[in-house]
Structures are given as C-alpha cells and as structure tokens.
Amino acid sequence: MHINNLIKNLFRPQFSFHLNRFNQLLTVSSILLLATQGYISKPTAEESFEAYDEAVPGTSFSLEMLPIPGGSFMMGSPESEENRQDDEGPQVEIMVDPFWMGKYEIPWDVYEVFMFQELEKRYAEENGGLDAAKIPSVDAVSRPTPPYLDMSFNMGKYGYPAICMTQYAASQFCKWLSAKTGHYYRLPTEAEWEYACRAGTTTAYSFGDDVSQLDEYAWHYGNTNGGYEKIGTKKPNPWGLHDMHGNIAEWTLDQYNPAYYASLDKATSKNPWNEPTELYPRAARGGTYDDDPEMLRSAARLGSNPNWKIHDPQIPKSRWWLTNARWVGIRLVRPQVAPAEEVQNKYWINFIEDI
C-alpha cells in the first residue's frame, strides 16, 4: 500500500474482535482514529537534502539520517584485491539515486518498540501521549512473535545493535517506522549499501588498503570479546557512516546471487536490485564481530542459509527470528524521492514460509 494510504489505514476503526499480543481486547480507544492528523505529505525532491534526526514518535529516541548523494561507482572488487572472492566480480559500473542512510545500525532500544506493542504504548504515555505515537494497528503492520530466547545473548542491549531478525522482520520494521513517521524507509539494496560503504573510495576498506588501521574503524574477531559492541564507537567512513565495516552485518534487500554482477548491463545497472524469490540465500553486508578482516572489506558479500536458524526446533521455522545469526542487523535507507505506490510494498518484501 502507498505510504499515505498506509498511514490512513493504520487507524481504521476496528469494531471486530481484535487482540493484541497479550490478548487483551484492543478497545477502540486504543486504536485511535488519527486519520485527521495522521496525514503526512509525501517527501519530494524539493525537500532539502541534508542530514536530519528522525524522532521516533511516542518515544524519546531519534535516528540520525545522513544524505548520500546519487552517483556512479564500480561495484565489486578488482582481481588484484587481496582476499577477493569470485562473487565480487566482475566489477560493474553502477548508478544509484540519492538516499538518506542511517548513521548507525538500529539499536535494541528502537527495535524493541517495534517488537512489543505494549512497550510502544507504555513509552507513548510518557512521550506525548498515544495519539502522537501513531501506533500502527495490528493488521496494518505485522509484528514479531516474542522470541523464546533472549536474542541479545547477553552481549548488551541498550545502545547495542539489534540482531537476529530475519530479512522479512527487518523489512517489517522499516514498514512500521514508515507508518509512524510518514517517511518512506526500507532496507538498502546491495548496490546502495556498497556505494555508501565505499563513500567514493576504490580501496579494500573505506579508509584504504592498510589492514593495520582496521581497529580504528571496525569491530571484528580480533578486537572483540565474542560479542558486538556499542554502535558508533569507532571512526566513521568518509561520508560519516559508522560501523559499515564490522560490528554486525547489515541486511540488504537482495537475493544473494554470486553471479549477479555478470548479469548486469547498461540497462540494468541503474539502481539494480536482485529481487528475492527464494528464502535462501539473502544478502547481508559489512562483516561482523565474529569475522576476520577480509570479510569486512567493502566488496565482501554474505549469503544467508538455513543454519542461521539451527536452534529453531519447530516447523515452520520462525518468520521473525534467526536463532543463530547473532551478528546480523539493520541499517535504514530512505530514498530522496519516495517510490510509486506499487513499488513501496515490493521493497517491504513478502514473507516466504520456512519449512
């Protein structure tokens, strides 16, 4: 649904028998009719293209967004690059349109508001009231089932990156945030991610080729203690983005295909997106605290696989949680020009049952 319709639909009166996750009847008063004030006009290209803070309505949290100018770059790595893998080539010239990107990975603080509608309400009462919080109704945006385990695995919660969500869950988070803010958020494509990570550089890392500098910019296996670290505690890349290399890998929107670059031509190399049709593998980027330096390179690619849910004993497996991908999370993008209605939903990807 179009973002404007989404916003309108969030607050449809619901007289049917609706239950929240605690199975208390959602009263009509808790599904406030905000259509009158919930309309936020679509961002346009005329809107100033600068850094901004997106306050998450009904909370004390805000998300810093940085402008990433459109342009072209060579995606992939040259054959001369040390530790290069075959899936990083052939290099191909790509053009991307401008977008804003999250300065940081999404922390648990904000992800939990999406996870737990009760928590969202509680925060709202302390931060401007339920009306202003623009809480999406349960049938406008799906929310995660409660995880059976503690998905931070005791590595830290507040100020630390949210992890273990499926690509679908990450995408639904974007939809939820879009509904609340009226701005169109989604995951980056692999091309957008690499473009932003390189920030104009052509070297293995956005600070150059010298691995000895990696510790200044990134958390990886060699300088962590078996877990992630707080977001934004290392130096940013030239465009001001933190933790693009390491800490946690970040979901992109693509089906992972090692031969994808070879398939691109002049026509398809503008804003390319390998739209997913299969549950596995999907592409995550950036490398993690559990990886060695070569996986943190700008061009390095990672495809998901069923082992990311190895400790999920049920069938169908959770559509929301990856019990064993304890190093994959979310970084948002917002296209400078929000796409057309039919495209918006496509980028919030559909769910495929995991049997």
Partner 1 sequence: MNKNLTMNRRKFVRNSAVAAAGGGLLISQLPVEASAYVRGNETIKVAVIGCGGRGTGAASQAMSVDQDVKLVAMCDAFRDRLDKCYDNLTQKHGESGRIDVPEENKFVGFEGYKDAIALADVVILTTPPGFRPIHFEEAVNAGKHVFMEKPVATDAPGVRKVLEVAKKAKEKDLNVVVGLQRHYQPSYLALMERIHNGEIGDIVGGQVYWNSSGVWVRPREEGQTEMEYQMRNWYYFNWLCGDHILEQHIHNIDVANWAKQAYPTMAQGMGGREVRTGPDHGEIFDHHFVEFHYGDGTMINSQCRHIEGCMNKVAESFVGTKGRATTDGKTEITDLKGNTIWSHRSKNDANPYQIEHDRLFETIANGGELLADAENGAKSTMTAILGRMATYSGKVVTWDEALNSNVSLMPETFAFDAQPPIVPDENGLYPVPTPGKTKVISTKQSQ
DSSP 177-193: HHHHHSS--BPPPHHHH
* Minimum distance, C-beta of residue 91 to partner 1, in the bound complex (Å): 31
Taking the complex as a whole, the smallest distance from the CB of residue 129 to partner 1 amounts, in Å, to 19
Nearer to partner 1, 270 or 311 (CB): 311
Q: Which is nearer to partner 1, 15 or 22 (CB)?
A: 22
Question: In the complex with partner 1, which residue's Cβ is closer, 267 or 315?
Answer: 315
User: With b meaning 16 or more CB within 10 Å and e meaning fewer, what string describes 138-147?
Assistant: bebbbbbeee
What does the block give as tokens for 254? 């693509």
Distance between start and end Cα atoms, the chain:
28
* Whole-angstrom distance, CA of residue 321 vs CA of residue 160: 18
Please say which residue, 254 or 290, places its beta carbon nearer to partner 1.
Answer: 290
* DSSP, res 324: T
Q: How far is the CB of 252 from partner 1 (least distance, A)?
A: 22
Contact 330, 162 (CB under 8 A): yes
**Minimum CB distance to partner 1, residue 146 (Å):** 4
Q: Which amino acid is at 174?
A: C
- Output 122 or 235, the one with its CB closest to partner 1: 122
Min dist. Cβ of residue 339 to partner 1 (A): 34
At closest approach, how far in Å is the CB of 96 from partner 1? 34
112 versus 131: smaller Cβ distance to partner 1: 112
Q: Output the six-digit token pair for 130.
A: 């339920």
Rank residues 152 and 344 by Cβ distance to partner 1 and give the closer one: 152
- DSSP 8-state class, residue 163: -
Sequence-ordered list of residues with C-beta below 8 angstroms from that of 229, at least 6 positions apart, any chain? 156, 160, 219, 247, 289
Spatial contact of 206 and 286, defined as CB atoms under 8 Å apart: no
Helix (H, G, I), strand (E, B) or coil at 255: strand
Q: 17 vs 212, which CB is nearer to partner 1? A: 17
User: If residue 222 lies in a helix (H) or strand (E), which one and from where to where?
Assistant: none
Cα separations in angstroms, 201 against 32, 74, 163, 194, 237: 48, 10, 28, 10, 10
Supply the minimum distance, in Å, between the C-beta of residue 208 and partner 1. 29
Q: Which of 112, 94, 265, 292 is nearest to 188 (CA)?
A: 94
Q: Quote the least distance from Cβ 328 to partner 1, whole Å.
A: 14
Residues that bind partner 1 (CB under 8 A): 19, 21-24, 112, 115-116, 118-119, 122, 145-150, 152-155, 226-227, 290, 307, 310-311, 313-316, 355
What does DSSP say about strands 249-255 and 328-329: parallel, antiparallel, or unpaired? parallel
Whose tokens are 């607050």? That residue is: 11
Nearer to partner 1, 97 or 294 (CB): 294
Name the residue among 292, 259, 58 with its Cα closest to residue 176.
Answer: 58
Q: How far is the CB of 157 from partner 1 (least distance, A)?
A: 8
